[in-house]
Structure 1
Amino acid sequence: MISLFRLGGLTAAVLLAGCQAVNTTSGGAVGVERKQYMFSMLSTEQVNQMYAQSYQQTLSEASSKGQLDKSSSNAKRVNTVAQRLIAQAPIFRPDAAQWDWQVNLVDSDEVNANCGPGGKIIVYSGLIDKLKLTDDELAAVMGHEIAHALREHGREAMSRAYAQQMGVGIGSALLGIGQGGADLANQVVEYSLTLPNSRGNENEADLIGLELSARAGYNPNAALTLWQKMGQAGGSAPPELLSTHPSDSTRMANLQAAIPKVMPLYEQARK
C-alpha cells in the first residue's frame, strides 16, 4: 500500500513539473513579495485573450439593454479615477504600460466592480450610488480590483484548479479509490490549498490597491471607510475559516498597519 507521505511526494513532483514560480509584480512599499506558481501551459497572453472575449460579450449585452453608460457624471468620475490609477500600474509591473486598458460603467443596481486580466475594468453604478462613494473610496475599490489583474490572480486560480484536478486524478489512481474517495481528496485539496490562497490574494489586492491609490493622489484612509460600507451592505458574513475573503477585523487591521507605509506617497502625490 502506498503511504500518504509517499503519495503526497509523488503528486507534488508531478504538479510542480508543470508549474513555474514567478514574480508577477514588484513588492512596492507595502511589500507584497510572494512568488506565485503558474501552470506553464497557461500563459499570460492566453488568459488575457480569453478574458478580453468575455469582456466584450459583457459590454455587448449591456449595450443591447441600454445599460452601457458613457456620458453620465459617474461615468466621467470612473474614467478619471481609473486613468490616474492606471498611470501608477507600471510601478508594480512595467509591462502593464502596454496593456489594452479599458474602462466602462454599467448602469445596474449591482454593488460590484472588477478588473479582469489585461486591464479590463467594469464598474456597476449600484456600487457608487448605493454606497455613496467618494472619489477616494472609488479609487480604493478600483485600486483593489486593478491589483488583482496586476498580480494575475485569475491565472493563478486557474493554475490551482488545473493542479487540483491533476492531483485528485493522480491520487485516485495511485490509491485505487473510487469517486467517493476522489471527492474527499478534492475537498482536502480545496480547503488546504484553494481557500487559504484566495484569502491571501484578497490581502495582496488590498495592499497593492492601497499603494496605487496613494500614488495616484487619493487618500489611503478611504480604504477603511470603503470596507466599512461594504461590510454594512453585505450583511452577515461567514466565518473566516471557510471564507475566501478576510474577515472585516482582519482586513481593517491589515489596512491600518499598511497605511503609514503609503501615506508619504499620498502626501508627495498631493504636492
Structure 2
Amino acid sequence: MKNVFLGMLVALLMTGCATHKSPTGRSQILLFDESEMSQMGQQSFEAMKKSEKISKDKKLTAYVNCVANRITAVLPDKKLTWEVVLFDSNQVNAFALPGGHIGVYTGLLKVASDQDQLATVIGHEVAHVLARHGNEQVTRAQMTNTGMQVADIALGAGGVANKDMYMAGLGLGAQVGILLPFGRDQESESDELGLELMAKAGFNPAKSVILWQNMAKAGGEQGPEMFSTHPSHSTRIADLEALQAKVTPLYKAAQKQSLQQCG
C-alpha cells in the first residue's frame, strides 16, 4: 500500500508542474504563469490600499519612492512600472508583489535609518519578486494540499488504524520538512539578490549588515531557526558579511554614475 500511495502522490503532484531556474541557479517548480501572479499581486495590493492607512507625509513618501525607484531601475524588465505606497503603520516591515507593487510601512523607517539601510530592505523584497518566490509559495501550498488529500484517501483505502494520527504526523512533516525550510532558502536567496540590486543602484551594501543588526535589536529574541521561515539574525548577518566581496565591485561601478541622493 505504501508503494502505491507514493506512486500516486508523485504522479499527481508533478502533473502540470514546470521546472525553472531561479536567478541564482536554484531549481524551482512553478504551477502559475506570470500573468496569473501579476493579477494576484494587483488584487492583493488594491485590497491592502483599502484596508491599510496610507501615509500623507509627502517628504517621507518622496524619500521612499526615490529609494525604490533607484532599485527598480536596475531590474532586467525595463517596461514594468512599479507602484510604491508608504503605509502609515508602526510595523517594521515592507513587501513587494508580482506585477510591480511595493509597500513600505513607516515603522521600518525608524529602524532603517538611512537610504542604504532602506535600500537593503526594498532590494530584498523586490528580489522575492524577481526570483518568483511568490509563485513558488502558492505552488508549494497547492502541492502540499493536494498531497494531504491523496494521503487521506490512500490511508483510508488501506484500512490503516489510527489514520488521524498519521495525518497529523504528515501535516507536521509537510510544515517542517517542506514549507519552512523552503522559506529560509527563499529568504537567503533574496538577501543575495537584494544586495546585488542595491549595489547596482549605487547603495552601499555594507550598510546591510548594520540594518540587520538594528533589526536584531528591534526584534528581540527569535525562536529556533529550524521552526522559522527566516534565517536567524546571526546567520543572516554572517551571510551578508560573506557576500560583501562579491557585491562591492558593483557598488564601486555604480558610484561612477550621477545618482540622485534620496536623503
Q: Shared fold (TM-score greater than 0.5)? A: yes
For the pair 1:54 / 2:33, whether they are aligned, the reply is no
Structure-1 separation of matches of 2:165 and 2:98 = 35
Question: Among the aligned pairs, what percent are the same residue?
Answer: 38
- 1:190-237 deviation per Cα after TM superposition (whole angstroms, max 9, x unaligned): 211111110000001100000000000000011101111111111110
Please say if residues 172 and 181 of structure 1, whose CA atoms lie closer than 8 Å, have aligned partners that are also in contact: no
Give the aligned partner of residue 102 of structure 1. 83
Distance 1:8-1:79 versus aligned 2 partners, 3 A rule:
same
Counterpart among 199, 204, 222 of residue 237 in structure 1: 222
Please say if residues 70 and 104 of structure 1, whose CA atoms lie closer than 8 Å, have aligned partners that are also in contact: no
Distance 1:181-1:229 versus aligned 2 partners, 3 A rule:
same
What is the letter of the counterpart of residue 15 of structure 2? A
SS at match of 1:89: coil
SS at match of 1:105: strand
Give the aligned partner of residue 237 of structure 2. 252
Counterpart among 23, 35, 38 of residue 27 in structure 2: 35
For the pair 1:76 / 2:62, whether they are aligned, the reply is yes
Structure-1 separation of matches of 2:89 and 2:155 = 50
Please say if residues 211 and 262 of structure 1, whose CA atoms lie closer than 8 Å, have aligned partners that are also in contact: yes
How far did residue 160 of structure 1 move? 0.4
Q: How does 1:127-142 map to 2 (within 5 A)?
A: 127-128=108-109, 130-131=110-111, 133-142=113-122
SS at match of 2:78: helix
Please say if residues 117 and 154 of structure 1, whose CA atoms lie closer than 8 Å, have aligned partners that are also in contact: yes
**CA RMSD in angstroms, aligned pairs only:** 1.7
| TM-score, normalization by structure 2 | 0.90
Give the aligned partner of residue 260 of structure 2. none
Give the aligned partner of residue 94 of structure 2. 113
Q: How does 1:176-191 map to 2 (within 5 A)?
A: 176=156, 178-191=163-176
Structure-1 separation of matches of 2:126 and 2:75 = 8
Q: Structure 1 regions of 5+ residues with no counterpart?
A: 27-31, 91-95
SS at match of 1:126: helix
- 1:116-154 deviation per Cα after TM superposition (whole angstroms, max 9, x unaligned): 1122101111110x2152100000000000001111211
How far did residue 256 of structure 1 move? 1.2
For the pair 1:155 / 2:135, whether they are aligned, the reply is yes
Structure-2 separation of matches of 1:37 and 1:18 = 10
Please say if residues 137 and 222 of structure 1, whose CA atoms lie closer than 8 Å, have aligned partners that are also in contact: yes
Q: Structure 2 regions of 5+ residues with no counterpart?
A: 257-263
What is the letter of the counterpart of residue 121 of structure 1? I
